[in-house]
Amino acid sequence: MGVTKTSEPAARAIPGVILQFLDRASVALGCTADRDRLPTIHWVSGWQADADQKSLWCFVPREFEAGLRQAIAAKGRFSMTVEHIGPHECYQFKGRILEARPATEADAAVVARCRERFAAAVRQVPQFAGHEAALRRYILDAVVAVRVAVHEIFLQTPGPGAGSLLARLENPS
Amino acid sequence: MSARLPDEIRPVMENGVPVILATCSADAVPNVTLVSEVYYVDAEHVALSFQFFSKTVKNVRENPHATIILNEPGAGRRWVLRVDYDHSETEGPIFDAMDMQIEAIASVTGMSGIFKLRAADIYRVLGVETISNP
């Protein structure tokens, strides 16, 4: 399912179609940058919209914490690209870190659902058929939960429209 | 200072699994995207395709630093490459090879005709590390 680009992208919250997309997406990657503008990738093992519908919770494994602590302390910028593997539907969320805490059992349940969607999507690729256990293991358990205020949402689905601004939140969290 | 790519990374670059690419703008806004493939140029350089005037293309021309993750799900391993954008090529053997591979990938993924290679962006490899499943 695609999202129609509007001429007026200002939004009060993350649009409903994007929230629905987040519930079917199968992989997410976060990114921060240090003071030298060196970007670091943080694999996001699970994701969930906050109740305010203006921010996202990103669950990051220990193996991808490098650079994240500094970004959390500085309440720095955080970008996250989320894709629905298969149809290639993809969006990038850009914003700022609001808060972080150790991941909980409830977060682990979110990660488990995202892990199943990842494995289900990638096993459709012929070379990974029958490798479901390895695919599940590839999504690492999260140790930290990071809440990110979403400022902008960009279309990232491959093609000439990739990079288009879909929504800018009027009053982000 | 450059780093050398180990031989064992070459099959990972050709495994068809999307690659993660992170860049950062001059005003420090990070950007992360999935790309279809990263191309081996030589032991110290890789190439990425420039197909659209994307944020990635703009960012690396403002700030050359980028990070790449190559995925190896079957082995439970990821390769993290620290790279710097070096230059672009719009003709020659690297460009021609990338152009052919892009069309091949596009036809397999049902996106034939959508992609057109504008340039082969060449990056110098500064660091290589792996992250393996525990």
Q: Which tens digit of pLDDT belongs to each residue from A44-90? A: 999 999 999 999 999 999 999 999 999 999 999 999 999 999 898 99
CB atoms within 10 A of CB B35: 16
CA–CA distance from A120 to each of A54, A130, B36, B56, B129 (Å)? 28, 11, 20, 29, 28
Q: Across the strands, what pairs with B66?
A: B83
In a domain? residue A2: no
Q: Is residue B48 part of a domain?
A: yes
The complex's ipTM works out to 0.92
Residues in B touching A150 (Cβ below 8 Å): none
Tally of structural domains, chain B: 1
Residue A157 lies in a domain: yes
- A43: chain B residues, CB-CB within 8 Å: 69, 78
Q: Does B108 touch chain A (CB under 8 A)?
A: no
Cβ neighbour number for residue A23 with a 10 Å cutoff:
12
Q: How confident is the model at residue A8 (pLDDT cuts 50, 70, 90)?
A: low
**Minimum-distance CB partner of B76 among A30, A43, A134:** A134
Blockwise average pLDDT, block size 10, chain B, 134 residues? 93 92 97 92 94 87 97 95 97 92 77 79 97 91
Residue A5 in any domain: the answer is no
CATH number at residue B122: 2.30.110.10
> How far apart (Å, rounded) are the C-alpha atoms in residues B24 and B66?
7
Q: For the whole model, what pTM was predicted?
A: 0.92
Give the DSSP per-residue string, B10-52.
Answer: HHHHTS---EEEEEE-TTS-EEEEEES--EEEETTEEEEEE-S
> Which residue, among A123, A151, A125, A145, has the nearest Cα to A136 in the 3D structure?
A123
CA dihedral (A77, A106, A108, A173) in degrees, to 10, reads -10
Residue B2 counted as domain residue? no
Range of the domain at A20: 10-169
Tell me how far apart the alpha carbons of residues A40 and B31 are, in angstroms, rounded to a whole number.
Answer: 10
Smallest CA–CA distance, residue B124 to chain A, in Å, is 15
CATH number of the structural domain spanning residue A21: 2.30.110.10
Tell whether A79 is within 8 A of chain B (Cβ): yes
Structure confidence at residue A158 (pLDDT): 80
